[in-house]
Amino acid sequence: MPTSIFVNLPVKDLNRSVEFFTKLGYTFNPQFTDEKATCMIIEEPSIFVMLLTEPFFKSFMDEEICDTSKSIESIICLSAESREKVDEIVRKAKDAGAKVPGASQDYGFMYNHGFRDLDGHCWEFSYMDMSQFPQ
């Protein structure tokens, strides 16, 4: 069995988060969905994001949940198949209510852009053209 990754993120309103990520084109595994959590499928069979209500998330640890209005907890970076796909997902996220804190970054061989979702989690999408990679 290959290694899978499950990124766990606290959310204030699970239904609102599901609606947001659905607008970006993501789907959810109903087997791992209830009123406290859902499993967002990034890429089967190995990449998933668990969206957990804050009280449920808190039940797994003693520390406080990061206040994403004051601190960045992480940057979740996913690859995209083209520059256009990077721009498309950022546009969809902005239209769905995300904040886009900066402009895209073009390094020639690599193109990045990102957003902060409804709960302030940082998402970045990156396209790399290895034929343009500096030698």
pLDDT digits (tens, 9 = 90+) for 23-44: 999 999 999 999 999 999 999 9
pLDDT (tens digit per residue) in 78-109: 999 999 999 999 999 999 999 999 999 999 99
pTM: 0.93
54 in Cβ contact with 17 (< 8 Å): no
Question: Which among 93, 111, 88, 58 is positioned nearest to 101, based on CA atoms?
Answer: 93
Domain limits, CATH 3.10.180.10, in the chain: 1-63, 66-135
The distance from CA 57 to its chain's CA centroid, rounded to whole angstroms, is: 17
Structure tokens given for 90: 């950022």
Instruction: State the fold for domain 66-135.
Output: 2,3-Dihydroxybiphenyl 1,2-Dioxygenase; domain 1 (3.10.180)
Superfamily of domain 1-63: 2,3-Dihydroxybiphenyl 1,2-Dioxygenase, domain 1 (3.10.180.10)
State residue 122 phi and psi, 5-degree precision. -90, 125
- Rounded Cα distance between 92 and 133, Å, is 28
